[in-house]
Structure 1
Amino acid sequence: MLGLRYLLLIIIGRRRQILAGLLLGGGLIMGTAKAMPQPPKDHRNEQLAQRFQDWQSLVALSMHLSDTEKLNAVNAFFNEQVRYGEDQDLWGQPDYWASPLETLELGAGDCEDFALAKYFTLRLLGISEQSLRLVYTTLASTKQAHMVLGFWSDDGAAPLLLDNLNMQILPIIERLDLQMQFAFGPTHLYRFEQSSLQVAGNTELLPHWQVLMSRMKREDVALADAAKVSF
């Protein structure tokens, strides 16, 4: 099992890959907040260690919760622990899809980083792959691109959206401020037919997702080991 200190050394020392291009011609950016100046290095390392300990505690304490309780816990954790930052400020490039470990490392991310961190953490907590979809939306008022995480329960209830802009987890039918464009999972793209999803293609059309999934295959062991609390 990787200890916390060893895991931090791996993450801090990891070379950051440079990715180029934009999803469907437009970067996923959201919110008016800008990336804040970074604190001194020693303080950043202390913050990083604390975030990982808090994330480990989240996973350990949430394993036996109900699905609803897991959704609430994970949504609140990332919305409270991660600040909004634009990819250009965080990574020096217009669009970068960070892994959960990278988001925890920086303590910052844009909308897709929030959604992806929640997605992979909930998968680690046992939420089924079939219940979770990343959802590409646009703001109804400005048409600005935005990504959220969707949850479809087995009981046929209205799907729920986990959003970094809203602490509440609301049914999709109540999010009149968002216009649903498409959703995707590990292998398929989906179009919306009201609140239900219909397969519309495969995720080979999403190059950033393909790169991230390849990277996640290498990080899966580290992510699972990181979830094992070893203070």
Structure 2
Amino acid sequence: MRSLPLAMLCLLLAGTAQASRMSDYLAQPALQQKMEEVYGKGSVQRAKALAQLMAPRAGISDQQKLSLVNNYFNNLTYSEDPKLWGEQDYWANPLEFIGARGGDCEDYSIAKYYTLMELGVDEKKLRMAYVKALAYNQFHMVVLYFATPKSEPLVLDNIKATIQPGSKRTDLLPVYSFDAKSLWIMKSRREGTLAGSADRLAQWKSMQTRFSTEHLRSPRRAL
């Protein structure tokens, strides 16, 4: 989380529709070697744990997938971008996030979003959302899951570990939400007005170009 002017938040990201095959990357010896070089031996064990989480499971429900993914990533350490990456606003890809063993709210949300799609959750059911965390008076990012287009969303968050319906999260004020293709200005905790393409959001687009061993960034400090 961080305090940011709302006008800046609406210009930060950009997106494409194709999720990277994290499970394939995690199984590659070359990637594991590179992660060890950049982040240390512990990162390889975290990568293997994530690969195990993404292994096919017969009959697993979306709700179970949400819990598995939320719990895995919420065990990582929260750290603000200037301290971890030496930048005011850096959106780590999931490999950088597990490599560094932590990050901020955008990093938690991005990693959860991609991993849920890897597990077969329909992309149409998932969004990332910028909200205002009222208790902290700061802007914050979470993942929303809609069982149906008209359903109340469930909120996956790193502030509160328990997955709850949006109506229970009165501590969060919706601002806007997005997926890989579209951007919505939120009118309520359940509904939003389509505001155009997610290509307006530049940090999102930048993050999606960094899914390779050539772009595993070393953190400024170890967590």
**Smaller-chain TM-score bracket:** 0.7 to 0.9
Aligned partner of 2:176 in structure 1 is 182
Percent same amino acid at aligned positions? 34
Q: Secondary structure of the equivalent of 1:157?
A: coil
Mean alpha-carbon deviation: is it higher for 146-155 or for 165-174? Answer: 146-155
Normalising to structure 2: TM-score of the pair? 0.77
Shift, 1:204, TM fit:
2.6
Q: Secondary structure of the equivalent of 1:208?
A: helix
Shift, 1:62, TM fit:
4.9
From 100, 106, 109, the counterpart of 1:112: 106
Shift, 1:167, TM fit:
1.0
Contact kept, 8 Å, 2:143 with 2:157, in 1: the verdict is yes
Mean alpha-carbon deviation: is it higher for 111-120 or for 141-150? Answer: 141-150
Q: Secondary structure of the equivalent of 1:96?
A: coil
Seen in structure 2, the aligned counterparts of structure 1 residues 47 and 63 have a Cα distance that, compared at 3 Å, is farther
Q: Secondary structure of the equivalent of 2:210?
A: helix
Separation (CA, whole Å) in 1 of partners of 2:37 and 2:148: 41
Shift, 1:196, TM fit:
1.9
Separation (CA, whole Å) in 2 of partners of 1:100 and 1:202: 23
Seen in structure 2, the aligned counterparts of structure 1 residues 103 and 62 have a Cα distance that, compared at 3 Å, is farther
CA RMSD of aligned residues (A): 2.1
Normalising to structure 1: TM-score of the pair? 0.74
More relative contact order, 1 or 2 (CA 8 Å, 6+ apart): 2
Seen in structure 2, the aligned counterparts of structure 1 residues 201 and 12 have a Cα distance that, compared at 3 Å, is farther
Aligned partner of 2:206 in structure 1 is 211
Higher share in helix: 1
Aligned partner of 1:197 in structure 2 is 192
Q: Secondary structure of the equivalent of 1:117?
A: helix
Equivalent residue letter for 1:139: A
Answering whether residue 110 of structure 2 is matched by residue 86 of structure 1, we say: no
- Segments of structure 1 that go 5 or more residues without pairing to the other structure are 15-43, 220-231
Aligned partner of 1:72 in structure 2 is 67
Equivalent residue letter for 2:79: G
Q: Secondary structure of the equivalent of 1:9?
A: helix
From 140, 143, 146, the counterpart of 2:140: 146
Separation (CA, whole Å) in 2 of partners of 1:63 and 1:13: 35
1:36-75 correspondence to structure 2 within 5 Å? 45-60=40-55, 62=57, 64-75=59-70
Shift, 1:49, TM fit:
1.8
Contact kept, 8 Å, 1:63 with 1:125, in 2: the verdict is no
